[in-house]
Amino acid sequence: MKLVQDKITIITGGTRGIGFAAAKIFIENGAKVSIFGETQEEVDTALAQLKELYPEEEVLGFAPDLTSRDAVMAAVGTVAQKYGRLDVMINNAGITMNTVFSRVSEEDFKHIMDINVIGVFNGAWSAYQCMKEAKQGVIINTASVTGIYGSLSGIGYPTSKAGVIGLTHGLGREIIRKNIRVVGVAPGVVDTDMTKGLPPEILDDYLKSFPMKRMLKPEEIANVYLFLASDLANGITATTISVDGAYRP
């Protein structure tokens, strides 16, 4: 059974990591997928990779400025207009920050909030415009376990992800009357570009503190997105699902 057969799906941050894994899994499960990326070059590269993997599938790609509601609405609207509706919006794009509190500049803090919170807001707002008349849809927002528990440094990241969780819970309660679900996913430490840059000796020590003794794979997060986007999860909204292997920052 294909869990998201014919569901029109947009994935921000869909050119790599969790987002790219989600794009593949959703295509394999019957969805019509569009991806958003940071640059058109990144988008084109990801589209070429997906075309090679799934030559029969049409995948659209865009590189809107996520901090601009007009730009996001234009891209989301293009997808919805082409297919006649929008079923699933996955607000996955985000950036990280490791700077300790005493050294965080106002500009850096504002930047991570703009991408991680305003970007999610703009994606959710644009998706809602395309879903409200049909009275159906699912909005999935990528949070983080740091948004729940905090972290030892990099105050901007847990602050922004706590904002995503608050947005998810509040919006989910507000728009369920339109039969639109809003769910957050809070990953733990995932094997993506963000972790590949760590020196091996630091990473080894880091992994020893994990109950699972390993990082999660992007596909393990993407599979949760798949479930939440499917009709199997019709009763789940206004909450955040932790996918962390019992890791606590």
Residue 110 falls in the annotated catalytic set = no
Q: Please tell me the predicted confidence (pLDDT) of residue 188.
A: 93
Give a yes or no: residue 2 inside a domain: no
Q: Please tell me the predicted confidence (pLDDT) of residue 203.
A: 72
**For each of the chain's 249 residues, which pLDDT tens digit applies?**
899 999 999 999 999 999 999 999 999 999 999 999 999 999 999 999 999 999 999 999 999 999 999 999 999 999 999 999 999 999 999 999 888 899 999 999 999 999 999 999 999 999 999 999 999 999 999 999 999 999 888 999 999 999 999 999 999 999 999 999 999 999 999 998 877 766 677 677 778 888 998 999 999 999 999 999 999 999 999 999 999 999 888
d(CA 85, CA 141): 19
Give a yes or no: residue 246 inside a domain: no
Q: Please tell me the predicted confidence (pLDDT) of residue 197.
A: 63
Q: Please tell me the predicted confidence (pLDDT) of residue 150.
A: 93
Residue 208 falls in the annotated catalytic set = no
d(CA 20, CA 219): 9
How far does the chain reach from its first CA to its final CA, in angstroms?
Answer: 37
Q: Please tell me the predicted confidence (pLDDT) of residue 152.
A: 84
Tally of structural domains, the chain: 1
Give a yes or no: residue 41 inside a domain: yes
Give a yes or no: residue 67 inside a domain: yes
174, two tokens: 């507000």
Catalytic site residue from 24, 161, 225, 247: 161
46: domain CATH number is 3.40.50.720
Catalytic site residue from 83, 128, 157, 225: 157
Give a yes or no: residue 92 inside a domain: yes
Domain with 158, as residue range(s), is 8-238
Q: Record the pTM.
A: 0.96
Give a yes or no: residue 208 inside a domain: yes
Q: Please tell me the predicted confidence (pLDDT) of residue 98.
A: 84
Give a yes or no: residue 243 inside a domain: no
Residue 38 CA to its chain's centroid (Å): 13
Give a yes or no: residue 244 inside a domain: no
